[in-house]
Structure formats: C-alpha cells, structure tokens
Structure 1
Amino acid sequence: MIPVAVVGAGIGGLTLTIALREQGIEASVFERANRLRDVGAGVALSANATRLLSRLGLGKALDVVGTEPTELIFRDRAGGRVAAHPIGGSYRDRFGAPYCGVRRADLQRLLSSAVDPRQLHLGREVRSVRELPSSAVLTFDDGEEIQAQLVVGSDGVNSVLRSWVTTEPGPAHSGTSGIRGLVRAEDIPSLPDSGAMQFWMGPGAHVLHYPLDGRKLINFLAVVDEPATWTASGWTEPIDLGQATSPFSDWHPCVREMFAAARPGIRWALLTQPPLRRWFRGRVVLLGDAVHAMLPHHGQGANQTIEDAVVLANCLGAARDDHQARFARYQFLRQARTRAVQRSSWQASAVLHLPDGPEARVRNAELAGLADKIAWIHMHDVGPVESAALLRAAR
C-alpha cells in the first residue's frame, strides 16, 4: 500500500512530495499527462514561496533559472508611469527572500529533478476514488486500482477529487478572460523598462508582463472584462489576432507589439473558486487550485500552492496516527490565509479596470503605497510560526 498518493504533478504536487520526504514520508505522484508540459509560460514567485523552496534545498537552482525584476511599475494605457516600487535587492532585504519570474517548464524541471523518478507516474489519469476502512482506492482510466493510506488532490482547478470531498459549488467564471503569451524582448521595440514587472491599466482591461530567462523573454497576461456568462463549450476558446488586440487599439504601441509577436490563439476564462467549507473527507485532502483557485492579479496562485504543500507536509509529519486531526489542522492553518488572498486578488481586478475619471485618479494616488499595503502577503512565513503551532497541538 502507498503511504501517500498525490494526484497531480504540478507545482503543488511536486513541492508536496519533496516536503513530505523531509518529514520522512514516502509519496507517489500520479499525473494524467504523458509529460510535464509548459502550460502558462511563466510563473511569478514571491518571498512567501521562494523562502520555502530555499529551505527545501532548491534556492541555488531557483537563482539559476529565475529572473528578478528591477521594479514593479504601474502605467496608464498611454504608457505614463503612475507608480513604481523597487524589487531586486531591496525586496530581498525587506522580505528575506527573492521575487523572481521563472518559466513554468523550468520550475517543473527543477521540482521534478528533486523527486525520485520512481515516485513519478505519468500518463495516469484518476477517474474516481472510494474509501475502505483502512485505505483509499484510486481508479485510473485504464481500470487499474491502487490503494493508499492517504490521498492528496493536487489536480488543479478542474479537480476530479474535489467532487468527492465536497458537493459545494466548483469554480466560477470571474467575468474576465485572459490571453497569455511569451515573446522575445527584442520583438517589442517600444517596450520601456524591459527589466521591470509592469501593469498597464485601462477601462475594462489590463496587461501584466515581466521578464524571464535573463530578460531575454517577456511573459505577458492580458485581461479583459467579459460577460459574466462564458458561452464557449469549455474554459478556453480560439481567438485571432484581431479579436485579441481590439480592446487595446488605443493603447501604447508596445502592447500591440506583444500580441503581434506572440500571435495568440487561445483565450482563457479566468476562474475563481468560491471559498469551500470542507477541504478534506475521510482519507482525501485537497491542495492548491483544487481548493482555492484564485485570480492572477497578485500573482499568488503558485505561491499559495507552495505554502499549502509545506504546511500539509508539516501537519502529516507532526503526528501520523490521526490523519483526520492532521487534515483539520492543515485546513485551520490555511483557510483564512487563502481566503484573504483570494479576496484581495478579486478586488484588484476591478481596481485595475477603472474607467478614466475621479476613481482612477484616486487609485493612482493610492498605488504609491501599494508595497506596504500588500506586504502581508509577501512577509508571511509558514515555517517557524506554523511549525510552533503544530508542536503545541501535538503535545
């Protein structure tokens, strides 16, 4: 019997497997894809996650593949600088860990290289789960079954295991959609401050981009207000270059250059998960986007998943004879935190999309103090604070 079966070999599942090893717990990871794919192009990692990866022995490797932005800059759609905050060394000094952009494929390779290949099982799609008195049974698409003492659903926003854990509503369309792209910096000749992370703001839309691969590449996400009801059959739909650029026709030339260089073909519905009251049932527990998918406007999706993974590993390592108590402790430690980040990310969408006028001018003035306003997200440390709580609870 497998001690822990992790469903999903994304950032959360791989981080959890590494963190469990530090606790002396063996896990097996089951991923439906036949290979770890470069989905989403880039990931922004903030100090609340990079300090945890460093503690897991991955800090030097992350420094090699990551790119630290020079600044966080907010601009209006014509290109004017509204507010700017230094990142780089000053960010490290303040939060004790770096902020960096990294290609998702590089991050997955970094994480998977720290996992024993014998623990990673690709092309294994989980279709269902059922529980026996002393184990949980996973059934795969080919009919094979495996038993595990515990199962972790790290299978993303469209989680199969979430529907087993709870009947609460699943992800909902946020009323916005996103177009992602990865382009060479040299193909955006009008781009100012190419080493910075930048938000471009306008009525009903915004664009975020940051450098990757030693500033040779630019990863961008363009977000546009959409009808609250998504009409496509799935959560993605084809889009041509003309459709993609039409909301940005009067924006700074570099925004249109990004689209032209990337030639986007897919538009993604941006989803958010209504807060769940239940994160676990029996021997199955949820992690990351499976339980708290959030909008990307604070760049916290991957970071909160990494926090989840480390806290869950700490909980399972603190006492292994009562998994219900450990799961409950994990939910207690993570629920309020992730709800707060979800709520803040949701509020950011509306703020970034304000029409020209008095509200936008107030927002622009307030952006000068943003670094202090969101410091609570970046300074959070699940290590010493939550480990101490666990030790007290285990006594």
Structure 2
Amino acid sequence: MAKTKVIIAGAGIAGPVLAMFLKGTGYDPIIYERTESPTNHGLSLVLQPNGLKVLKLVPGLLDKVVGGRIKELVQMSVLPEDLGELSRSDAPSRGEAAMGVSVTGVRRTVFHRLLLEHAESLGIPIVFGHQLVSLEQASDSVTVTFANGKTDTASFVVGCDGLHSNTRECLFGLQEPTFTGLVQTGGLSETPEVLLGKQIVMNVYGEGAHMIAYPVNDHQTSWGFTTKEPEAKETWRAMDEEAQRKFREGPYSQWPFGAGEIISRGQNIIKYGLYDRPELESWHKGRVVLLGDAAHPTSPHIGQGANQAFEDVYHLVRLLTKYNPDAAEPSTELLSNIFTEFEKMRIARTSEFVKRARKQGEYRVVEGVEECKKRNDHFRGEPMMPPAQLQEMVVHPYI
C-alpha cells in the first residue's frame, strides 16, 4: 500500500524537522522550497530545553549538532550611572541536569544544513526553486501550484514557509508583517579572550540599545544589537564595507565586559527590522495547516522562534499519530478535527510568547537615564527565562 503523501512548503528550520517526524510515523513527506538552493540567511539561534527535547526524538540528530554550550545567563549594564552586573542565572545548567539536554547556541546556516542533510539521509526529497502560489483542495487531496508552473498533489499540506508565508496568504489573504519599531544589527565575531570558555548568554544594556551575545562554537560568538530606528527590510545581505567599518569603530566598540571587543571584531554585519504578525484565530482551512513562523512569527527577544516551531511539530505529529495511528489516508473531517485540537493547544501558548518577546524588546531598549535605571532594577530581580517556562513542554518518544 502506498504511504500517505504530505507536501511541506518551506525547507527552513521547521520544515525538515516536521518531515523527519512524519517519515518516522509512516507518512511520505516531500519538501518544496522557494529559494534555488540553501541560503546563508540568518545569524544564529539558541536551542533551548523545550526545543531540544523535541529534536532528541529524532535518532542521531543531536549528536551531529555543532554549537556552543551555554551554562549561564548574565545581564550587565554599561550605563555610566549604573555600571556593572545586574544578574546571573544558572538556569541552563539546572535545565540540563533536570532534562539531560544542553542549551546550545548554533550558527543558523550550519544548523540548517545539518537538518537538510539529515532529512535527505532518511530518504526525504527536498525540491528547491518551487515557490507555492496557489492551493486547490478536493475532497481527499490538495493540489499545489508553483510559480514555475509545476504542480503536485498530496493528501494534505503543511505550510512551514516562514514570516512571508505564501501558504498563509493562500489561506487567509495578504497580511503584511507588523514592524515592531526595533531594528537589529548583528554579526559573527572571533570570541574575545576575556569570554573564551565562559559558556554564557550575555545581555548588555545601554541607553537606547541592547546587545545579546553567545557562543556558537568553541571560538566564535554570535551577537545582535537592538535599537529603535526606522524600518530596515530584512534582506539578510551584509552591509557595505564602509557601513560595517563605521559600526565596528563606533561608540559601541567602547562598551566594557568584552562587548566592545565583540563589536570591533564583527564580520559580515547585517541590519534588519524585527517583525511579528497579529494572532490568527485559526491556522488551517480544510486539508492545509500552518506551523512555526508561518503561523506565529515572533521577534527574537526571548529566543523562542525555532523552539516554538519544534513544539508545533511535536504536537501536530503526536495528534496525527493519536487519531490516525496507521498513517492511512485521512478524511477531511478527521484532519479538521486534528488541526482544530492542534490549534486549541498551541495558539494561546505561542501568542503568549509572541507578546512576551515584543514586550521584552521594548523594555530593553529605553532612553533616558532614569528609565534605564528602572529597566536595570527590573532585570536585577528577574531571570531572563525562568526554567519552568521551558520545562512545561512534555514530550514522549512515540516515534
């Protein structure tokens, strides 16, 4: 008997992971990606306990991850009127002890290529140069048409095609992303000697600026610098050499605690606006469903974008396994019930993280000495990410 075919739109971070889970539970996934080849877009991300618990279910995957292990969360102020360390938390170490997974900073391009290679090693086809432009649903299938004129048909479709999701647009119409009012400048640097081996996520607060930095391997640090500026579209191309030089040699290069050294060593510096989208009431129509950034894109201030996508993957496939254990061709009614239960479980949680991320970003980048002191006092008493928020994701090895 032929296996139930599933089309996944998007070969970013979520799509290959979903395909691995579907393949492991008896489905026949195929991934279509709009770009012509894997891109170098994006800087880095932190794999947190909730996401790692999901990835751990894919045999052999975590053993291949190359990254920087993180044990502590440190927050510091460079405000001259309030200079010094604000707080220090060993939450990552405690999470590792409790859950057996190490919080890890990874370069996005390196991690992305690992996911693609691992998916292909499992026999999952990944087809580049195919941008989804329309969907036609029948009683027992969905036909996808691509910008190049080609088509394909599957039992159901999952949109994992990110912030600018064509799948979302086909389902719910054009909805422009919402600019948060914040812009991030980021890059990759050789780790300064003062920070080598520290295994920390470092948050540094100035007036009208916030910097986050963390290791992505044993000698490199990824960093992002958030400020309030006019909208900057996320082309993911490096700034021109003169603009990079000015940033490397600018006032931020004088920040203490190793932060300035990181800036002055920055390579391939990029600048991009930060966006999210209004909450959707539903993520599906008929035999098509969204997950990850296609459903709930978020600004990066609590590092949960990819990790929430992994939670989506886990729960969607868990529900498919629960209600369709033999991975047979599901009816539209069955899929609708599964997708509805999936949404009830996920929309409230992901919306909370999106709102929390936006609020965190706005609170970090404040102006005026007194407002900055208030912010600093807040972060003295509050850890960056309470471990309970990351441990509440419970997973079971069902694949």
- Superposition TM-score tier, normalisation by shorter sequence: 0.7 to 0.9
Aligned partner of 2:181 in structure 1 is: 175
* Cα contact 1:87–1:99 (8 A) shared by 2: no
* CA deviation after TM superposition for structure 1 residue 94, in Å: 3.9
In 2, are the aligned partners of 1:182 and 1:218 still within 8 Å (CA)? yes
Query: Following superposition of structure 1 onto structure 2, how do residues 38-57 of structure 1 map, counting pairs within 5 Å?
Result: 38-57=40-59
Q: Which residue of 2 aligns with 1:17?
A: 19
Compared with structure 1, are the counterparts of its residues 12 and 231 closer, same or farther at alpha carbon in structure 2 (3 Å cutoff)? Answer: closer
Letter in 2 for 1:75: M
Alpha carbons of structure 1 residues 30 and 372: separation in structure 2 relative to 1, 3 Å: closer
Residue ranges of structure 1 left out of the alignment (5+ in a row): 388-395
- CA separation of 1:84 and 1:39: change in aligned 2, threshold 3 A: same
Contact (CA 8 Å) 1:236, 1:269: kept in 2 or not?
no
CA offsets, 1:297-340, max 9 Å, x none?
10111101111111111122222431111111111111011011
Percent identity, aligned pairs only? 26
1:43-192 equivalence runs, <5 A: 43-58=45-60, 60-62=62-64, 65-77=66-78, 80-87=84-91, 89-115=93-119, 116-167=122-173, 169-185=175-191, 188=192
Query: For the aligned residues, what is the CA RMSD?
Result: 2.9
Equivalent in the alignment of 2:304:
300
CA offset digits 1:8-50 (Å, max 9, x no partner): 1111101111111232222111112233233223220110011
Give the residue type in structure 2 aligned to 1:15.
V
Name the residue aligned to 2:214. 210
- Cα separation, 2, equivalents of 1:284 and 1:73: 42
How far did 1:365 drift? 3.6
Mean CA deviation greater in 160-169 or 283-292: 160-169
TM-score between both structures, scaled by the size of structure 2: 0.85
Measure, in 1, the Cα distance between the counterparts of 2:285 and 2:130: 23
SS at match of 1:309: helix
**Superposition deviation, residue 380 in structure 1:** 2.2
Instruction: Give ranges in structure 2 of 5+ residues lacking alignment.
Output: 325-329
Deviation at 1:51, TM superposition (A): 1.1
Contact 1:49–1:306 (Cα < 8 Å) also in 2: yes
CA shift, 1:209, in A, is: 0.7
Tell me the amino acid that sits aligned with residue 124 of structure 1.
H
Q: Deviations over 1:171-206 (max 9, x none)?
A: 111001112211211xx4565875321011122211
Task: Report the CA distance between 1:212 and its aligned residue.
Answer: 1.4
CA contact (8 A) 2:34 2:131 kept: yes
Structure 2 residue 317 is the aligned partner of structure 1 residue 329: no
Aligned position for 2:327: none
